[in-house]
Amino acid sequence: MLVYILLSSMLLLMNTDRASAQTDAITTAKNDLITAFQSIRTAQRQGASNTDLLPLINQLNTALQYEENATTLEQQDPTAADANAFQSINLSTNVSFQAQRLGDAAQTSSIRRIAFAYSIALGAATLAALAVVEAPRARRLIKKRQLRRARILPGEEEHAK
């Protein structure tokens, strides 16, 4: 009788460990789905285009289906539930990584555009300032050249004044 109780308790402990391992994989899958979703949202805020994000959203939907299958199969077929959970984890992790990469690229591109726009504005402001400051000098230079080109012949001194 004591042996029976000992064996029963050992089997219960093994099943509990197995159940917690199942739950851990499914919980990890759920957490990774949330992380991947947040990564996509962050990439959108950083300026990634919807066209670039659409394949990631489709992959995330597939990962969600794997996670739902794992949750459904958890009690009936633990091995299949594990396989689905791990598929979901792999897809979610991949989506997170790619979304972060797209977000970083979009942010870098945005920073470059802003820097270029500021450079253009600074160049235009510098040229405008030079034009305002140097305009009188340029007028004097043009008048001197015009006077040098105009030949003054003897007897035409009145026109030169």
User: Does 109 reside within a domain?
Assistant: yes
Give the tens place of pLDDT for each residue, 27-86: 999 999 999 999 999 999 999 999 999 999 999 999 999 999 999 998 999 999 999 999
User: Does 153 reside within a domain?
Assistant: no
Give the tens place of pLDDT for each residue, 20-36: 444 689 999 999 999 99
User: Does 42 reside within a domain?
Assistant: yes
Whole-angstrom distance, CA of residue 96 vs CA of residue 100: 6
User: Does 127 reside within a domain?
Assistant: no
- Report the number of distinct structural domains present in the chain: 1
Range of the domain at 22: 2-113
CB 48 within 8 A of CB 108: no
User: Does 143 reside within a domain?
Assistant: no
Domain with 18 in it: what CATH number?
1.20.140.10
| Cα–Cα distance list, 51 to 14, 47, 58, 111 (Å) | 48, 11, 12, 20
Number of H helices, E strands in the chain: 4, 0
